[in-house]
Structure 1
């Protein structure tokens, strides 16, 4: 499953490794201090805490509570302070900066424009503000000696009736910072097939889209996303494990849907920490990512909601290194998988892989080999 030529990376190497992120929610990644600032500036008085440290702890505790009501409440507060142009620009800029500081070189960040209209903005103005913020954050990152490219995914809420409108919005802003479309929200009772008009429109326009599927509802959600809607990627998709049988002797048998997903190289946007919070896995060691990686599914690793999960791409990789003994070769495999699956043109993906990702990991592997010749006191992940 892992290379025998490169040993366990240090926490610092994981942070410096060039990483690719495909599943990250803008309203799930705010800095606690920013939430406090924006609430104060916008007259938002519903925050449970006004001290940034305590507020960050509250977000994580609510997300870990096992209560869907408390988990959803966390987003009411972040969305609640993201209702003006200045707020959206700031949040998007800080998102790009934070990801770049964590070693992410390419990210697709999603948000639902329809959730940011309470302050009088139009859908167009929301998209323009977020794109402006991403560009600002990219420039600030470059000034700090870091590189990142951020593309936006416009999300429609599956319980609402604006999917076609949001799909058309995404299509108008393609090549202007928006790279694709997403649909999110509770899977149970809200199948993606309710929004076939949006998906048919995107396919006619040769546009890209991913669908949240196979996180809570299971195999029927995955099947509908692929066979009825034609999704390019699966948001989460972790429940594909339900179509894989592992025998007592270690033998593995794939069902028809799992075989299709693997054969067609359908990208899985796995979010380990988030999956633990929602009950899709009991622990990192038991997370399906281990088996799916071993079976060579198109696995990618993602953050989902960095604030609520108290996570980052580096932390996600650290958890997997600890759970499965992954090496730099494995982390490169995940990163290349994600870059191959991005919604930007092929030549641009290839350039990122060959000019940024592979050279970045090659440098880290050389460091590791040097340490074997002249051991140092560098800590491993578990000591960081």
Structure 2
């Protein structure tokens, strides 16, 4: 005998299910320090699962929503594939969190995405992994000479795309000759949580260290190209890397999260962003989150508490200049306005270097003025 709730029209049941469907924790925790709890749901987020267990009818109605957001530990990929494909659940997956606590003793395969994208076609992929593994996934070799100083265990890379087209899993593109995840789909947005550089501030001449970061490696490559061009012909236009430009030109939204990156590292990040020729929305978060007390904890050591804030303000001075040089950007957001002590300085630094033609909403977002 069915319960009264099941007798409601499907339109109402769909609405109830939509209300019960939670936002995946990987979105709400994307700007926090990268940790394995990125995928942990709150107890109230499990109401939809409880509803699915009440009857076969509710299971059928909730299944497309329950399996929209999948989580995969890469070591379990064979079992993951079998479970999804045999049950036909792979057609429901629209976002995927892939986790690799890869170690030299138990390494995961950085080409994991070639196999996964044969049976899934998600609109969003989030990879939580060590810097070197993320680099390998993007066909980038991370220079490891200074990794010990930063002690960065995990970073987060998220790639997304806007598509309303139904996924035809029978005709997915062949990835055999694709060299990296960024080229595997027409991604239009990227978020990179680089983690914290605070540990490195304890070391003498900390600013000489290279952050383990694929974005930094790309920026370093671009800087080398510029220097080579200047040596050949001082009047020549510095060439961009066709390899980088081809992968990044489709991006129209980019978010960068880090904790106190060095000024010279930010210059490399911004060189990479300059190749995103169709970028429209840009977001930065360079200070710890409002609930992150990492700075206070690190001050117990040899860290000079003034150094990280000095590097942050210097970084914002060149961020404003680069935005002014990037004509396609129409919106810029600073996610550091929760730090009241630096808010006024950030506004002054950005507006001085961004030039005219921008409107600030007072809460960290600038929009480029457009003519009617």
Q: What TM-score, normalized to structure 1?
A: 0.37
Higher relative contact order (CA 8 A, sep 6+): 1
Between Structure 1 and Structure 2, the one with more helix by share is 1
